[in-house]
Amino acid sequence: MSKLDAKIPEGPLKDKWNSYKDKIDLVNPANKRLIDVIVVGTGLAGGSAAATLAELGYNVKAFCYQDSPRRAHSIAAQGGINAAKNYQGDGDSFYRLFYDTVKGGDYRSREANVYRLAEVSTNIIDQCVAQGVPFARDYGGLLDNRSFGGVLVSRTFYAKGQTGQQLLLGAYSAMNRQIARGKIEMHNRHEMLDVVVVDGKARGIIARNLVTGEIERHSAHAVVIASGGYGNVYFLSTNAMGSNATAAWKIHKKGAFFANPCYTQIHPTCIPRSGDYQSKLTLMSESLRNDGRIWVPKNMGDVQAIRDGKKKPTDLTEEERDYYLERRYPAFGNLVPRDVASRAAKERCDAGYGVNKTGEAVYLDFKSAIQRYGKEQAKLLHMPDASPEKITELGEKVVEAKYGNLFQMYEKIVDDNPYKTPMMIYPATHYTMGGVWVDYNLMTTIPGCYAIGEANFSDHGANRLGASALMQGLADGYFVLPYTIGDYLSHDIRTGKIPTNTPEFEQAEREVKEKIEFFMNNKGTKSVDHFHRRLGKIMWNKVGMSRNEKGLKEAIREIKALREEFYKEVSVPGSDQEMNQELEKAGRVADFLELGELFAKDALDRNESCGGHFREESVELAGEQKGEALRDDKNYAYVSAWEYKGEPSEAVLHKEELKYENIELKQRSYK
C-alpha cells in the first residue's frame, strides 16, 4: 500500500462521516485513563482538542509558547466563523457550504474532508453558545449573521470584530475546567523542539522550558500538532510575532510529509507598510468588504496629486474613481475571494495607481455605506426631513456599531479618521493553506502523530474562504480528532506508560541540545532578525503574489545561500539556562530557512495558477476571462506531499490524486 492512503471512507458523500463514526473503534472509559495524549498548541484547534480529549477521559498534556493558552494566535481573528445554519433562510445548506469551500479553494481540496467540515459546522455554533460565547444578536435576541467574500449567503457568525478572541476564550474556558479537574496538565512557556519516534510511532516530544531553559522529555501514546501556520516565513505577515513552523517542520524531518507548501493566502485588506522598521502587518477584517468599496483614481494625474498631498481622496468625484473590483467582477464586486481581490490590487498598483508614497496602497471607502445606513435609520426613526449631516451621523453610528473596533485600530496605527477619509489598504501574507499532510483521520504519515488546525493542509485547497479557518480549527478539535484518534488509541490500551529513559528519547534530546549549543557558541555578528528580514524579502519578491520559473529558481538558490550564511554569521547573546528570546527566534528562523526553500520548490513544480498560487506562465489568453488565473486540472489535480530527505532540495514528491465525484470541476468565475 502506498504511504499516501487518505483513508477516505466508502459510500456516498453525505453518509461517509456518520457511518464511519459509527464504526470507529472506541476506547472504554476505564482504558482512556491509561492513555496519554500530547497536544502542542492551544489555539482554537489545540485548545478545543485538549479540552475534548480530557473530557473523554484521556490524560492530556498541552503545550504553548505563550504565558497562557488564552494568548494563542487564534485570539486575533476578527471577522467571524462560518456555519451552515441557514438561520437567515437564504438557501444555505451543508452542500452549499461544501460547494463554496471546494470552489473557493479552486478545486484543490478533498471532497470528503470538506463535506464533513460543513456537516459539523452547525455543532460548533451550538457548542460555543452553550459555553457562553457572546455572539452578536439581533433585536429579537437571535443570532446575527454577516456575509463574507466568495459566497452569496449570510452564514458568518461573529462577535463584533473579536470573533477569534471569543471563540478562543470559550475553548480556553473548556480547558480550564479540565485543568482544574487535573485532566489537562498545562505547560505554558514551553516550546516543542522535536518529536520522539519509537518503533515507528510518535511517542513523545522534547520541549524547552522557556523560563528556565531546561530541556524536558514528555511521553505519550499519541502526539497532536496544533501549532498554527507558517506565514511568518515572509517575516512580515498578519500572524503573531511568535507564530512559527518549528513543530510542523520537526515532525516533517522525522517522517511527516509536508503538503502544498506553496499555497499561501495573501489577504487583500491589510494596513500598508510604513517603513523598514516594520515588524508585522495588521489585518483589517474582510468583513469590511461587505460595506467598503475598493477603488483607485482613474487618472494618473490624480494619483500624483494625491501622493504629493495636493489632493485628498474625498476631492475626487465618482466619475474620477475606478472601482476596479466592481468593474472587473460585476457579479461578486467587492466580495470576490481573497486571492482574486489581492491580485487585482497588485495589478492596479503595478500599473502605477497606488495611492501612497510607496505606491502600494488602494482605498477602501465607506462613504456609500454610511449614506445607505444613514437613510435607512432616518426612515426607521421617522425622520423624513433629516439633514445630510444628520444622515451621515446616523450612518456613522451604524458603521461604528459594526466595525468600531477595527476603525479604532486603524486610526491608532495610521493616525487618520476612516469615517471621514477612506482607509488605505494593501495585501499581506495572512494564512497558509499548505501544511502537514494528514489522512481523513487527521493523522500524518507518522503513525500516532496528528496535525489539526492551520498546521495541517486538509480543507482549504489552494485558497481559503473568509471565516473558514476558525470553523476548521474548532471542527478538528471539538468534533473530528477526538473521535478519529480512538481508532488508533484503541490498539494502545495494553501498552502502559511510555518510558522516557529510552535511547530514542536520549537521542532526540541530544540533538536538540547540540543545536542549542551551536547557537550559543556561534560567534556571529548579525542578529536573527537580520536574516529573517532578508528571507522575507526573497519570499515576498519571488514567491509572493505572483510567481514565475526564473524567480522561483533564483529564490531557491538565494534561500540556500542565506541559510549557509545564517549558520556562519548569526549571533545569539545571553545564556541558554534562562529565558532567552533571541535563542527562541534563532531556532524558528532556522526552520523557516529550510521551509522557505521547499515552498519555492513546490511553487516551481506546480506550473499552473490555482487559488493563492499564481504562476505568470499560466493565465487565460483570450475570451471573457482573459488575464485571469488558469488552472490545469489535467496535470495538477493532486496534492503535493513532500518527503524529507536531508536537504529541502532533495525532498521527494508524492502525489495524492484528487477525485471529484460530487462537484464538477469548473474554471472559477466571479464575473
Partner 1 sequence: MNLTLKIWRQKGSNVKGKLVAYNVADISEHMSFLEMMDVLNEQLVNSGEEPVAFDHDCREGICGSCSMYINGRAHGPDGGITTCQLHMRTFKDGDTIIVEPWRAKAFPVVKDLVVDRSAFDRIQQAGGYISVNTSGNTQDANAIPIPKLNADLAMDAATCIGCGACVAACKNASASLFVAAKVSQYALLPQGQVEANDRVINMVDQMDAEGFGSCTNTGACSAECPKDISLENIARMNREYMRAKAVTK
Ligand X SMILES: Cc1cc2nc3c(=O)[nH]c(=O)nc-3n(C[C@H](O)[C@H](O)[C@H](O)COP(=O)(O)OP(=O)(O)OC[C@H]3O[C@@H](n4cnc5c(N)ncnc54)[C@H](O)[C@@H]3O)c2cc1C
Window of 1-9, 227-235, 293-301, 490-498 that interacts with ligand X by CB under 6 A: 227-235
Q: Does 80 bind ligand X (CB under 6 A)?
A: yes
The answer to whether the beta carbons of residues 364 and 269 sit under 8 Å apart is: yes
Least separation in angstroms between residue 248's CB and ligand X is 8
DSSP state of 521: H
Give the nearest residue (CB) to ligand X: 43
SS3 641: strand
Q: Residue 616: which region, alpha, beta or left (left: phi > 0; alpha: psi -120 to 50)?
A: alpha
Q: What span, in angstroms and rounded, lies between the C-alpha atoms of 446 and 219?
A: 16
In the complex, the smallest distance separating the C-beta of residue 154 from ligand X, rounded to whole angstroms, is: 15
Q: Which one among 84, 112, 223, 283 touches ligand X, defined by CB under 6 A?
A: 283
Q: What is the CA radius of gyration of the chain?
A: 25
Of the candidates 565, 562, 546, the one whose C-alpha atom is nearest the C-alpha of residue 609 is 546
- Pair 207, 473: CB distance under 8 Å: no
Nearer to ligand X, 37 or 467 (CB): 467
Instruction: Provide the CB-side half-sphere exposure for 414 (13 A, CA).
Output: 24
Decide: 480 and 46 in contact? Cβ < 8 Å: no
Min dist. Cβ of residue 81 to ligand X (A):
6
Query: At 313, is the secondary structure helix, strand, or coil?
Result: helix
Q: What is the distance between the alpha carbons of residues 609 and 463, in angstroms, rounded to a whole number?
A: 11
Query: Which residue number, 278 or 495, has a Cβ lying nearer to partner 1?
Result: 278
Residues from 44 through 63 that contact ligand X (CB under 6 A) = 44-46, 63
Q: How far apart (Å, rounded) are the C-alpha atoms in residues 517 and 586?
A: 12
363 vs 431, which CB is nearer to ligand X?
Answer: 431
As measured in angstroms, the least distance from the Cβ of 37 to ligand X is: 15
Residues 594-653 interacting with ligand X (rule: CB under 6 A): none
Closer Cβ to partner 1, 327 or 568, answer by number: 568
Catalytic site residue from 338, 343, 464, 606: 338
Provide, rounded to whole angstroms, the least separation between the CB of residue 358 and partner 1. 12
Shortest distance, position 421 Cβ to ligand X, whole Å: 23
Tell me: does residue 455 bind ligand X (CB under 6 A).
yes
Quick one: cell of 470? 476558525
CA 191 to chain CA centroid, nearest Å:
20
Q: Which does 46 bind (CB under 5 to 8 A by kind): ligand X, partner 1, none?
A: ligand X
Residues 401-430 that bind ligand X (CB under 6 A): 430
Residue 298 or 307: the one with the smaller Cβ distance to partner 1 is 307
The sign of the torsion formed by the CA atoms of 49, 50, 51, 53 equals positive
Catalytic residue status for 547: no
473 in contact with ligand X (CB under 6 A): yes
Question: 525: which 3 cell numbers?
Answer: 555578528
- Residue 154 vs 468, nearer CB to ligand X: 468
Shortest approach of partner 1 to residue 178 CB, angstroms? 9
Three cell numbers, residue 70: 488564552
| Residues ≥6 apart with Cβ < 8 Å to 595 | 230, 233, 245, 249, 258, 261, 648
Q: Which is nearer to ligand X, 46 or 551 (CB)?
A: 46
Strand partners, 201: 198
Under 8 Å CB-to-CB from 617, ≥6 apart: which residues?
Answer: 548, 549, 607
Should residue 343 be labelled a site residue for ligand X when binding is judged by CB under 6 A? Answer: no
Name which of ligand X, partner 1, none residue 241 binds, using a CB cut-off of 5 to 8 Å depending on partner kind.
partner 1
Which one of partner 1, ligand X, none is in contact with 80 (Cβ closer than 5 to 8 A by kind)? ligand X
Among 32, 29, 86, 39, CA closest to 58? 32
**Contact between 244 and ligand X (CB under 6 A)?**
yes
Q: In this chain, which stretch among 224-232, 313-321, 345-353, 624-632 interacts with ligand X, using CB under 6 A?
A: 224-232
Tell me which of ligand X, partner 1, none is bound by residue 159, counting a contact when its beta carbon lies within the kind-specific cut-off of 5 to 8 angstroms.
partner 1
Which residues are designated catalytic?
338
Chain residues that interact with ligand X, rule: CB under 6 A: 40-46, 63-66, 72-74, 76-81, 163-164, 190-192, 226-229, 238-239, 243-244, 246-247, 283, 430-431, 453-455, 467-470, 473
